[in-house]
């Protein structure tokens, strides 16, 4: 049993319930014990760093203070939370973690965990042609994230490869989806996401694999609207990499997780012969 501290972030209690459910299910199967930080608070997200710099460091930092007492690595599924926690760690020496703050996808793509994942695959994902979409915050800026290859991250690509999927290279892995602009400036998000669909489609993908719940929401919830607005036709399920791991393990939770998607993956699974 491997034990790590876990900071879920607010979205995983709401819009990203499927992400949360699949993370817990898959980690349980892999013998990874996620110890949720007690009484954690919101990292402050985009709002805090935009209009209250001091609060953005202190909000994130409070969680680091809680994590420090645990003496084990802190794993963070939400790339924005990850980025804000890393920013606080680097901004104030007293928040400095003796243990690591890890992006979940990075953590899950370590060699030993990859081997573990591969050993549990009972239904290889042949027929899945995936582009992995990382978004901004787990990579940039590398001075904060310590990302090894911030312009070309490979964590999810390596996981998908072990699951037996066809992993398609593309140049839009870390392009922005517009994130929280979806509320006040939705036009910006629709424009950016339209471009991502077009590039994924041109690369020959039949789905987009993600590790960020903001990216998932923006690409999944508005697909129909974007197709209508720009008179295009795409069917691109937006699937968390943890859901993909669960799918390859034939986990019984998959059906529930996928029922929470707006672009339901049923047709993809049928076409790929994975039902």
Partner 1 sequence: MENTNDALHIEPAWLGEVEKETGIGVSACYQCKKCTNGCPVTFAMDIYPDQVIRLVQMGQKERVLSCSTIWVCSACETCTTRCPNGVDVAGVMDYLKETAVRRGADIPQSNTYTFHRTFLDEIRKLGRISEAGLIRNYMLKSGVLRKRLQDGSLIGDLLLGWSMFKKGRMNLLPKKIKARGEISKILK
Site for partner 1 in 225-244 (CB under 8 A): none
Site for partner 1 (CB under 8 A): which residue of 113, 117, 137, 269?
137
By CB under 8 A, tell whether 266 contacts partner 1. no
The least CB distance from residue 141 to partner 1, in Å, is: 5
The least CB distance from residue 126 to partner 1, in Å, is: 28
The least CB distance from residue 201 to partner 1, in Å, is: 18
CB 241 within 8 A of CB 160: yes
Site for partner 1 (CB under 8 A): which residue of 10, 30, 68, 114?
10
Q: How far is CA 126 from CA 48, 121, 159, 267, in A?
A: 43, 12, 14, 15
The least CB distance from residue 76 to partner 1, in Å, is: 15
By CB under 8 A, tell whether 50 contacts partner 1. yes
The least CB distance from residue 40 to partner 1, in Å, is: 7
The contacts of residue 229 (CB under 8 Å, 6+ apart) are 190, 194
In the complex with partner 1, the residue whose CB is nearer, 33 or 52, is: 52
In the complex with partner 1, the residue whose CB is nearer, 48 or 113, is: 48
CA 127 to chain centre: 22
In the complex with partner 1, the residue whose CB is nearer, 132 or 176, is: 176
Phi, psi of 149 (to 5 degrees): -140, 85
By CB under 8 A, tell whether 11 contacts partner 1. yes
What character string, x for contact with partner 1 (CB under 8 A) and - otherwise, covers 101-130? ------------------------------
Site for partner 1 (CB under 8 A): which residue of 52, 110, 115, 169?
52
| Cα Rg, the chain, nearest whole Å | 18
Region binding partner 1 by CB under 8 A among candidate stretches 26-34, 67-75, 184-192, 234-242: 184-192
By CB under 8 A, tell whether 136 contacts partner 1. yes
CA 141 to chain centre: 17
How many residues make contact with partner 1 (CB under 8 A)? Answer: 52
The least CB distance from residue 49 to partner 1, in Å, is: 6
By CB under 8 A, tell whether 192 contacts partner 1. yes
By CB under 8 A, tell whether 47 contacts partner 1. yes
| Interface positions with partner 1 (CB under 8 A) | 10-11, 13-18, 39-42, 44-53, 55, 58-59, 62, 136-137, 140-142, 150-151, 174-176, 178-181, 183-185, 187-188, 191-192, 221, 259-262
């Amino acid at each position: 049993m491997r034990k790590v501290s876990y900071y879920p972030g607010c979205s995983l209690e709401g819009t990203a319930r499927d992400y949360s459910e699949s993370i817990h299910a898959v980690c349980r199967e892999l013998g990874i014990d996620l110890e949720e930080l007690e009484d954690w608070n919101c990292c402050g997200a985009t709002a805090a760093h935009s209009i209250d710099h001091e609060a953005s460091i202190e909000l994130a930092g409070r969680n680091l203070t809680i994590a420090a007492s645990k003496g084990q690595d802190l794993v963070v599924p939400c790339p924005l939370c990850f980025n804000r926690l890393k920013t606080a760690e680097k901004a104030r020496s007293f928040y400095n973690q003796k243990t690591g703050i890890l992006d979940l996808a990075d953590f899950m793509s370590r060699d030993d965990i990859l081997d573990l994942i591969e050993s549990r695959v009972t239904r290889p994902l042949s027929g899945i042609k995936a582009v992995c979409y990382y978004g901004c915050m787990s990579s940039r800026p590398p001075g904060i994230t310590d990302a090894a290859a911030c312009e070309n991250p490979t964590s999810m690509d390596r996981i998908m490869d072990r699951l037996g999927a066809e992993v398609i290279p593309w140049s839009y892995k870390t392009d922005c989806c517009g994130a929280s602009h979806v509320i006040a400036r939705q036009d910006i998000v629709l424009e950016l996401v339209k471009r991502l669909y077009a590039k994924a489609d041109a690369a020959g993908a039949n789905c987009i694999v993600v590790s960020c719940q903001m990216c998932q929401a923006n690409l999944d919830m508005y697909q129909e609207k974007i197709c209508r607005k720009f008179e295009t036709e795409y069917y691109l399920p937006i699937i968390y990499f943890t859901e993909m791991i669960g799918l390859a393990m034939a986990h019984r939770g998959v059906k529930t997780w996928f029922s929470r998607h707006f672009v339901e993956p049923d047709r993809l699974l049928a076409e790929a012969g994975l039902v």
